[in-house]
Structure 1
């Protein structure tokens, strides 16, 4: 159905005359009459009653007039929005806590530089919770760990960075042997309910280390803060400079796992982007992925 015909119908009703509507539209009365006939045939009802040179709407015409005004306004607004350079709207992004404190701020800076009018709502949760929200279409994308199961065709994954385990120690211990520090110093443990904490626990077991635990926290930044206060050492995923920036803390690389306990990658975790390929905001998701890849390459 041509919305132009509906717009001209509104003009006919408002003017009460096809001739007057034709004059205002700068077309012939015959063209207006033909459009009204096409509109009536399309809808299958009579829309106008003719009285000499004047016309008035039928009951169906009155209903079309009532709804048609809003329809024409909506179409005009849609046409203007599509044709404009406006890039407004909302991207619903999920993230794990470690990405929020590490990688995400840099990615957000690059994304907003491209899409200044887009509002980004950020939800922080664990990877399983983020995946569930994504599957339920309450999120468009999630910066999280790679799920351990096969993904459905509607969900895509792109790896962005590998995050190995590092040992956080007071700055004065930067030159010490990390395994010896793990054996001799109290451990500020990263939550074993989280993927990074499980990874650290497996590493300790593979190295045959039974640490003297001091506390267990569910934030890598909180672990770094406790280490800075001299409360022990911390075995956490390397989320980047956020761990040591403006802190008297050093991040020590760890020796590889002993033979038979897995490859070097066994003590790494994969961080990447999950997204719905059916999302109506897919162009923003792809732009976000491009920004993340660029930030990773520049870093």
Structure 2
């Protein structure tokens, strides 16, 4: 259905005359009359009745007037949005927990200050699950750890942050050698099913360290809490997060070369949401001091 025909119907009803409506729209009366006939054929009922030169809506015509106005208004708004320089729309994003809890909040504050008309829906999940969601089209983009494999050429991954592995220990540990700590203290393992956890596991294997494993889990914030309680030590990325008050922890650095967990932003090259994604990338370009110990 051509919305211009609905507009002609509204003007005819408003003017009470096909000739007057034609003058207002800079059309011939025959063109306006043809538009009305086409509408009536499409809808399947008579919309106006003529009494000489005067035209008034039928009961069916009256029934669709308000919704017709809403449709025309919505179409005009769409045209404004499509041609405006102000980005408007919704992005479906995924974010691993360490990004959602630590890295992202300061950027979101800046983003909404700059682009208040863009709506974000953020879904939590593991890097592997979010990666698949982007490739399946369930998400427009995702904040994930660098995959341990090459991504398809039709996708882009922008690196946002590089996080070196560290040995996280309770604050009362005096040992300074990271390898000795990993060998001699109870070990809280970062889940090997996570891409970041595989990085830590590869490091332990490469250095020939077989720690006294006490627990394995996939949440970096939970690992941090458990280490703070003195339950053990851990080998994790030096991630950005809001550290709770009262924590007493130490970060022991590894010798070079240090493996790094790379956090990035994954999206499809030719996505229809590229304009909105570019605005988000513009925000992410400029460093913001994240939460630190």
TM category, shorter: 0.7 to 0.9
What residue ranges of structure 1 are gaps of 5+ in the alignment?
257-263
Q: TM-score under structure 2 normalisation?
A: 0.78
In 1, distance between residues paired with 2:233 and 2:279? 39
In 1, distance between residues paired with 2:113 and 2:70? 36
- Greater Cα shift, 150-159 or 163-172: 150-159
Distance 1:289 1:180, change over 3 A: same
Cα contact 2:182–2:233 (8 A) shared by 1: yes
In 1, distance between residues paired with 2:63 and 2:155? 44
Cα contact 2:168–2:236 (8 A) shared by 1: yes
**Which residue is equivalent to 1:171?**
171
Q: TM-score under structure 1 normalisation?
A: 0.77
Say which of 260, 275, 285 aligns to 1:293: 285
Over the residues paired in the alignment, what is the CA RMSD in angstroms? 3.8
Question: Offset of 1:293 from its aligned partner?
Answer: 2.3
Question: Offset of 1:172 from its aligned partner?
Answer: 3.0
Q: SS of 2:227's equivalent? A: helix
Q: Which deviations, in whole Å up to 9, do the C-alpha atoms of 1:190-249 show, x marking residues without a partner?
A: 112212222111111211111111222221121121211111211101113646875210
Question: Offset of 1:147 from its aligned partner?
Answer: 2.6
In 1, distance between residues paired with 2:253 and 2:64? 72
Cα contact 2:103–2:241 (8 A) shared by 1: no
**Which residue is equivalent to 1:228?**
228
- Greater Cα shift, 194-203 or 11-20: 11-20
Are 2:264 and 1:268 equivalent residues in the alignment?
no
Question: Offset of 1:150 from its aligned partner?
Answer: 3.7
Distance 1:17 1:112, change over 3 A: closer
How many residues align structurally?
Answer: 286
In 1, distance between residues paired with 2:284 and 2:56? 61
In 2, distance between residues paired with 1:297 and 1:287? 20
Q: SS of 1:231's equivalent? A: coil
- Greater Cα shift, 134-143 or 153-162: 153-162
In 1, distance between residues paired with 2:290 and 2:171? 27
**Which residue is equivalent to 1:100?**
100
